[in-house]
Amino acid sequence: MIAVAAHAPTRHWRHISPATRTLRIALVSTQRSWSGGEAQAHLLAKGLRSRGHEVNAFSRQSSHFADQMATDGFRVHSFFGRGRNPWGAWQLRHSLGLFQPDIIHINDSHALTSVGIALTGQRRPACVVSRRVDFPVRLAHRYRLWCDRVLCVSHAVARVCANSGLPSNRLQIVPDGCDPKRLEHGDRRRGREAMQVAPHEKVLLTVARLSDHKGHSYLLDAMPEVIARYPQTVLALAGEGEQRRPLERQTRTLRLEKHVRFLGHRRDIADVLHGSDIFVMPSHLEGLCSSVIDAMLAGLPTVATTAGGIPDLLGAYPNSQAVGTLVPPRDSSALARGLIDVLSRPDHFVQLARRAQSRARQLFTVDCMVEETIRAYQDLLAEKAPVLAFC
């Protein structure tokens, strides 16, 4: 974890930790649609509430995030657009003033600008920003000016932030987390029936939005070599996105129609995971990748690229043992070799998957994410505005 400077207590005074009181957290999102970042914010909000903290959501009008938070009983403060126009900025400023949060937790970079504009000229509470992508920070001065801590989901994201000019003492690594309970009732038979695969077929599964940076095209290019060795192999692609039609054309060009299933958006992901034999993540840009965490928790052997924070998940460090197969991004031949290796040595990779499952349960659950986030809040409040009492 990137070190954060500790607050030095004043002599003759004792520090009263923020851990001794309930925190009021404003969770801000400007996204209209629902993606992994919004799912993580939703899980965080529920985890904070279950630990006695008060969470209010601040979100643009008519967004999936606002609807879901309201459905789960959170108070939602809406603002017009992304909150940058005069009316939206006033709404955000007014509602934050009424709530008086201890912490403003910003869930996307656009929301950072919105909050910064809204609170210009005002006393700003302690502010943290979640950073989940591993591409360079645009307009890094916003982070230096308007936030006190950047919660990076991986070492790779933290390195990118530091290289973009953000002070290292403001960077803290807090990985995303997944809920093991949602995978407990997955059923292999149901999953295979849903994917329309035969009992003798081996299923390779990818769960990801069909976007360019997820690398599906490289995976499709790898499949002919895999199928030449293991003809009873099926690739299942769960997810939707703007690349679906190009990927379907590529599938036809490669004559893979009998071996590729486009599953679309799934609500039965636990069944689909348990119905599969190998998980594949071919991304060439990735902050962390919660889908890999899900696969680890489900006990699936995993083949993935070294993009972004994926090595954090699979333990690929000089002094630790990797618990999955890692290959370079944008390398279809390496991806094919990795998949063939797993298919040819199933017993070895099942044992490796069990170690991956144990690692995920220890380090990458929702509870871990919530506890690390609370610790970041408490460290920041102790540093920024310590409460002192005469000793």
Work out the average pLDDT over 322-348. Answer: 97
d(C-alpha 349, C-alpha 352), whole Å = 5
CB distance 179 to 291 below 8 Å:
no
Q: Nearest-CA neighbor of 207 among 140, 125, 262, 170?
A: 262
Average of per-residue pLDDT across 82-91 = 88
Residue 191, pLDDT score: 97
**In this structure, what token pair is assigned to residue 356?**
């991956």
Using the structure block, give the residue that is written with the tokens 């000089």.
Answer: 318
Paired strand residues for 382: none
**272 touches 266 (CB < 8 A):** yes
**Residue ranges of domains in the chain, CATH in brackets:** 13-177+366-390 (3.40.50.2000), 180-363 (3.40.50.2000)
pTM as predicted: 0.86
Range with lowest mean pLDDT among 39-43, 132-136, 367-371: 132-136
Count of residues for the chain? 391
At a CB cut-off of 8 Å and minimum separation 6, what does 73 contact?
Answer: none
Would you tell me how many other CB atoms lie within 10 Å of the CB of residue 143? 25
Average confidence (pLDDT) over 191-203: 96
* DSSP per-residue letters across 301-355: -EEEE--TTHHHHHT-STTS--SSEEE-TT-HHHHHHHHHHHHH-HHHHHHHHHH
Whole-number mean pLDDT of the chain? Answer: 91
Tens digit of each residue's pLDDT (9 = 90 or more) over 173-191: 999 999 999 898 999 999 9
Measured CA to CA, the distance from residue 8 to residue 151 in angstroms comes to 22
Q: Which of 63, 100, 64 is nearest to 79 (CA)?
A: 63
Taking only the tens place, the pLDDT of each residue in 351-361 is 999 999 999 99
Torsion over CA: 302, 313, 237, 214 (sign): negative
pLDDT tens digits along 237-251: 999 999 999 999 999
Q: What is the pLDDT of residue 83?
A: 81
Angle between helices 109-118 and 86-99 (to 10 degrees): 80
> What's the rounded Cα separation, in Å, for the pair 163 and 362?
30
Q: Is 157 in contact with 135 (CB distance < 8 Å)?
A: no
**Rounded-to-integer distance, Cα 57 and Cα 95, Å:** 10
DSSP annotation of 138 reads S
* Predicted local distance difference test score (pLDDT) of residue 317: 64
Q: What is the pLDDT of residue 20?
A: 55
Average pLDDT over residues 324-331: 97
Burial 27-62 (b: 16+ CB within 10 A, else e): bbbbbbeeebbbebbbbbbbbbbeeebbbbbbbbee
Q: How far apart are the first and last CA of the chain?
A: 33
